[in-house]
Amino acid sequence: MKVLFLYKDYHPVLGGIENHIRLLAQGLRAEGVDARVLVTNTGPTTVRQTIGGVPVTKAGRQAHILSTPISFPYFTELPRAVAEADLVHLHAPYPPAELAQLLLGRKKPFVITYHSDIVRQKLSGKLYAPLLRLVLRRATLVAVSSPAYVESSPFLQRIRRKCRLVHFGIDLGRFAKTGQIQVSADRLHRRFGGRPLLLFIGRLRHYKGVDVLIRAMLSVDDAHLLIVGDGPMRRDLQQLAGAHQLADRITFLGECSEPEALAARHAAQLFLLPSTNRAEALGTVQLEAMACRLPVICTELGTGTSYVNRHEETGLVVPPNDPTALSAAINRLLADANLRTQMGAAGRKRVQEEFALPMMIRKTVSFYNEALSALPQ
């Protein structure tokens, strides 16, 4: 089976979708599926690379508008790439890829992984809606990461009969606490005076709710917040922390290497995902924290956040945009080490049973086989 992935970015660009596609492509190739990737490059030149054993074409980028890379070579590369595939796998939302598939790749069957609705760009979202509905209608099947998103998305409700649940998976081996990771975690803990550590990992973007988390820290008992990641809101968030006189209780670590981020997970007492709207479809970082036996506090968005993190079982779920509720949840878990241990163990078990990488690969192959078998012979 030959499968072509279409999206906007790929490793080493950081992001939940980018990392998901990388793990999926590598895992499928290990099972004998010829997975290839077409994305845009961060610069104007088109390059062809093999990354982690996966053939990747990065079409030269000419512009970046409303979080959307624009690449004219993408439209010339796509027909050739599609011609060599048995099945095309779109990762939505990325409107240029969906348009290119409809115009230039329509002779080949395609499936979609629907990652999230477009939330913030109201005007462009309205313009995009007819294209999205058309591409969803023409797709053979649509993969979703949680049942909640099917029921809450106005786009998926209409095509729920063709939606299939395919959990995102993580490589549990990546999150093992080796001796060196333990040494680094202990060092990080000492760096902040042995105080309890709270951890956020993610891009510093509008929907991540880090501003809400900073305000919640005003009412949190003695603890230090580590923020791992970078993004367009970093300066504003640092200024907000300073304005609330929290600079000595919040550390912005920026982009960290994988071992550094892993050490932070094993040093922390709690993981926080305070996202504020449904642009946060699932929160793979929750799975990664749970793999490290970290209890999680997330927000209820009507998406997959509370599907992954089960309230009172693997962590706590609070309303979005509510610093008071968030700080109360943090204080409750900081005060109860036994409850943190219990929730951490339950989270690890949930990931092992439902979200391990081999399971995602198996379900994806079954998803492809169903899509291909549904086609006219």
Quick one: tokens of 37?
Answer: 């990737």
Kindly report the average pLDDT of the chain as a whole number.
Answer: 94
What pLDDT does residue 286 have?
96
Instruction: Say whether pLDDT at 238 is over 60.
Output: yes
What pLDDT does residue 27 have?
96
β-strand partners of 2? 34
User: Strand 250-254 vs strand 270-273: parallel, antiparallel, or unpaired?
Assistant: unpaired
Pair (349, 361) in one structural domain: no
Q: Which residue has the higher pLDDT, 154 or 112?
A: 112
CA distances from 243 to 24, 216, 229, 238, 248 (A): 43, 14, 21, 9, 12
Number of domains in the chain: 2
324-373: pLDDT as tens digits: 999 999 999 999 999 999 999 999 999 999 999 999 999 999 999 999 99
Pair (153, 241) in one structural domain: no
β-strand partners of 87? 3
CB half-sphere exposure, 2, CA atoms < 13 A: 8
The one-letter code for the residue type at 303 is T
Pair (154, 238) in one structural domain: no
Pair (203, 271) in one structural domain: yes
3-state secondary structure of 314: coil
Pair (29, 160) in one structural domain: yes
Q: Band the pLDDT of 292: cuts 50, 70, 90.
A: very high
Pair (259, 197) in one structural domain: yes
CB half-sphere exposure, 308, CA atoms < 13 A: 33
Task: Give the range among 115-119, 137-141, 243-247 with minimum mean pLDDT.
Answer: 115-119
Q: Which residue has the tokens 């600079």?
A: 247
Pair (245, 347) in one structural domain: yes
Pair (134, 205) in one structural domain: no
163-174: pLDDT as tens digits: 999 999 999 999
What CATH number should be reported for the domain holding residue 122? 3.40.50.2000
Pair (314, 186) in one structural domain: yes
Instruction: Say whether pLDDT at 123 is over 60.
Output: no
Nearest to 367 by CA among 20, 112, 122: 112
pTM surpassing 0.85? yes
Pair (146, 189) in one structural domain: no
The domain of 25 spans 2-169+356-373
Pair (333, 228) in one structural domain: yes
What pLDDT does residue 120 have?
61
Pair (224, 126) in one structural domain: no
- Chain centroid to CA 341: how far? 25
